[in-house]
A and B are shown apart, each in its own frame.
Chain A
Amino acid sequence: MGVLWFLVLAIACSIPLSYVFRAAMAQVLPHDMAIAARDMPLTAAFGILVIAVYIFIATFAPLLAPYAERTVVGTSFQPWDSTHLLGTDRLGRDMLSRLIYGARNTVGIAFATTALAFVVGSLLGIWAALRGGWLDQGLSRFVDALMAIPSLIFSLLLLTIFGTSVLTLILVIAAVDATRVYRIARSVAQGVVVMDYIEAARLRGEGNWYLIRREILPNALAPLVAEFGLRFCFVFLTISSLSFLGLGIQPPMADWGSMVRDNATLITFGDVTPLLPAGAIALLTVAVNFVVDWQLYRASGLKEQG
């Protein structure tokens, strides 16, 4: 039951913390953003705060971690004490240090994968929507067929074939997710392409690149940014799940998913340590989802008024 008390305490602390953080943002930021900051819900402020902390930890991991990422510094499964704040893992590596390096590895790889999926998927999607005709039909039917296979299952299939290394992991997940991004980007862009201003631009002879860059992208950006957040969560969870299954990021690299797997036995003995990396994953996805939810709400609210 100690965990529950800890959770209640954490939530109780995070509310005033988010409140202070929101007030601080409203003070520091330039005018327009300050107004947005002032009006945002506490959940979104909490989300931004958490994301900022994660970025900070990931950036300065080597400075923050008390021990090296891969060095064995004690015996296996040491309990929490003053030298190893969160104890040690199965091989006797410092848990806290690996947790901190994990922020860099897990989040970094998930971010790179999402970014890759996004560039490929959204450019193809917008291009298909703009060109229409056989190109659009061909690409879309191809993507439909790929999407008829559940993404985790497809990823597993591809990983079997290409083996498990960080690079294949990034490429495989990015390829699978690019199909989902393509769908969204295409439908958003289709909403824009039917607008009269696109017709006007075409009728004065603008090329595809200008249309994408100046006419479509600025108008598709808001939904795409929200989608980026959602996609990131999804990719992050998928990579973590794969690592948890032993098929993702491979040891000795510190990674949250495999840390849960390696130390899972402790849970049955009532030790919460293996839940910490899982909690770290959950906390970041919750934070991103809160921010995305707020952005989506804002986008829909603004639309209603206009």
Chain B
Amino acid sequence: MNAVLVMIAQRLALGVLTLFVVSVVIFGATELLPGDLASALLGQAATPETLAALRTQLGLNDPAPVRYWNWATGVLQGDFGVSLATRRPIADMLSARLGNTIFLALYAAAIAVPLSLVLGVLAALWRNSLFDRVANAGALSAISFPEFFVAYILIFLLSQSGFFPSLVRLTPDMELSDKLYVTFLPALTLTLVVTAHMMRMTRAAIINLLASPYIEMARLKGLSPLRIVLRHALPNALAPIINVIAINLAYLITGVVVVEVVFVYPGLGQLMVDSVAKRDIAVVQAIALIFASAYVLLNLTADVLSTLTNPRLMRRK
């Protein structure tokens, strides 16, 4: 067991290191600005005096490592600085939206994960059947559609005729059932896109597994197909399936941006797009850091979980 603890500790350390590097990259990206933040902000209107004043105000006269240190320690305490466009504290702008985005992502994941696992396993078991072919062609098409296309088709089909609202208005005191109802279309859009990916990957992982010699051995021992899947395939399928889920939950992070814009959903993605348009680099940095951290943490969790389900790693010689 000690070896496993050491391995998990290594993974966690690597995860923390990755987070650090990611934060450096996100922070360092502003250093690539032609000129600096102050001149970018003021643009044509810059005079040497206003520039100097703004630089002092933003702390741009400090060397980069000091500025990084101030920024990073602030972020760790929940202080993301102020928006360059509105001069409001970024943390205030984020708090409600972060919850909304997480809600939407979890909603989509709750439908997509079980659905795609079942579809993927069935397609693998009945491979080359009509079901498999249709599911595959369908998934391949769904992967090929831009998210906004799926979203607008759903709006066209389900919202225009009045089944579901096409714009999402959330109020803080909403009942959960209402919330689920108004966010149904964005969640369904995300579900469709993610399910296609996840189903294909699950299918590939299971087919790969079913080709292993120990599955043939189980068949030659006269075991029933159900027993083979449950007792011989499934324990070994956990690691690949965990990875498939993690990759796709991470994919949700990207998908959520476009979907939020289509449905005018008050989440982080929409704020990010608005801020990019306004070139509000401070807000963009903050949101990019949140999304990237979620992404890193997801991958880290998957890594640790699949280590824990691997008998070869768990029980060393």
Among candidates A149, A281, A282, residue contacting B26 with C-beta atoms closer than 8 Å:
A149
**Judging by beta carbons under 8 Å apart, are B18 and A245 in contact?**
no
B51 at the A interface (CB under 8 A): no
Q: How far is the CA of A270 from the CA of B159 in the complex (A)?
A: 10
B29 at the A interface (CB under 8 A): yes
Known: A157-B285, A270-B160, A282-B144. A260 touches B152 (CB 8 A): yes
B residues contacting A by CB (< 8 A) are 18, 21-22, 25-26, 29-30, 32-34, 137, 140-141, 143-149, 152-153, 155-157, 159-160, 166, 250, 253-254, 257-258, 261-262, 272-273, 275-277, 279-281, 284-285, 287-288, 291-292, 295-296, 299
Q: CB-CB contacts of A245-258 with B at 8 A, as 1s and 0s?
A: 11100000000010
One of A52-60, A210-218, A271-279 at the interface: A271-279
A132 at the B interface (CB under 8 A): no
User: In the complex, what's the smallest C-beta–C-beta distance from B221 to chain A, in angstroms?
Assistant: 26
**Judging by beta carbons under 8 Å apart, are B30 and A268 in contact?**
no
- Chain B contacts of A244 at CB under 8 A? 146, 148, 258, 261
**Judging by beta carbons under 8 Å apart, are B152 and A274 in contact?**
yes
Q: Which of A263-302 contact B (CB under 8 A)?
A: 264, 267-268, 270, 272, 274-275, 278-279, 281-282, 285-286, 288-290, 293
- Chain A contacts of B157 at CB under 8 A? 3
Residue among A3, A244, A281 with the highest chain B CB neighbour number at 10 A: A244
User: In the complex, what's the smallest C-beta–C-beta distance from B167 to chain A, in angstroms?
Assistant: 9
Q: How far is the CA of A247 from the CA of B29 in the complex (A)?
A: 18
- Chain B contacts of A270 at CB under 8 A? 156, 160
A145 at the B interface (CB under 8 A): yes
**Judging by beta carbons under 8 Å apart, are B152 and A267 in contact?**
yes
User: In the complex, what's the smallest C-beta–C-beta distance from B166 to chain A, in angstroms?
Assistant: 6
Known: A241-B148, A282-B144. A160 touches B156 (CB 8 A): no
A25 at the B interface (CB under 8 A): no
**Judging by beta carbons under 8 Å apart, are B257 and A160 in contact?**
no
- Chain A contacts of B276 at CB under 8 A? 156, 159-160, 245, 247
29 contacts between A and B (CB under 8 A): A3-B156, A145-B18, A148-B22, A148-B292, A148-B295, A150-B291, A150-B292, A153-B253, A154-B288, A156-B284, A158-B29, A161-B33, A161-B281, A162-B34, A244-B146, A244-B261, A245-B258, A245-B276, A246-B277, A247-B277, A257-B148, A260-B149, A270-B160, A275-B153, A278-B148, A278-B152, A286-B144, A288-B144, A293-B140
Interface of A is mostly: helix
Q: How far is the CA of A157 from the CA of B155 in the complex (A)?
A: 29
User: In the complex, what's the smallest C-beta–C-beta distance from B90 to chain A, in angstroms?
Assistant: 14
**Judging by beta carbons under 8 Å apart, are A289 and B140 in contact?**
yes
Q: How far is the CA of A162 from the CA of B141 in the complex (A)?
A: 34
- Chain B contacts of A158 at CB under 8 A? 29
**Judging by beta carbons under 8 Å apart, are A275 and B21 in contact?**
no
Among candidates A151, A160, A272, residue contacting B281 with C-beta atoms closer than 8 Å:
A160
User: In the complex, what's the smallest C-beta–C-beta distance from A294 to chain B, in angstroms?
Assistant: 11
